[in-house]
Amino acid sequence: MPLNMPHAKITDNRMVLSLPDAMTPVVWMMDLKDEGTFILRIEQNEAGLFILQKISSDGKKIEDIAYYTREKQAKRAMRVMTSCVAQSGQKTSLKKFFSIFKTILFAVGIAAILLIVYILYKDEILSLLPNNSAPAAPIAQQENIITNDRNAVGVPMSADDFFSTTENFLPF
């Protein structure tokens, strides 16, 4: 790129615009994160100079970026600026796409690994499961424990039996 041509670069959400072909060469910086939307225009003043201007989206704030003696130079600077902003938007979209793509690829990879493990070790996994599908019965029902020992722990008894064996259990 020739030294006297305008160029722009975006780094860390800041656009740095170098305008060496302006009447007074200038390096101009704008924070894209804080700026939001803006308008670029070329305005000719009373002296016949062409002014590259940045205007806020509400139109209230006008900032002169650079002055040019020829309209062609001002338009070239505006083209460089707009193409730089457009390319940064495309890069951001590509970053989002690849981020989503990597996440999906990771999830599919995990699912594939789990499927392969299941296919290879299917018999071992199924052998760990109980053979009957009926729920297990409580231990007291399985063994049919019947005891008359009133001090036995964990043995079911009726409320009448409990209160008849524990005299003066309640403090009142």
Which is nearest to 9 in space by CA: 87, 116, 119, 76?
87
What was the pLDDT predicted at 67? 92
What's the pTM? 0.47
pLDDT per residue as tens digits for the range 9-63:
888 778 888 899 899 888 988 887 776 678 888 899 999 999 988 888 777 778 8
Q: Which amino acid is at 52?
A: L
What was the pLDDT predicted at 7? 84
**What's the rounded Cα separation, in Å, for the pair 126 and 113?**
18
* Strands 14-19 and 38-44, sheet pairing: unpaired
Residue 133 has pLDDT above 70, yes or no: no
**69 vs 13: which has the higher pLDDT:** 69
Least confident interval from 58-67, 124-133, 138-147:
138-147
65 and 23 Cβ atoms separated by less than 8 Å: no
What was the pLDDT predicted at 151? 64
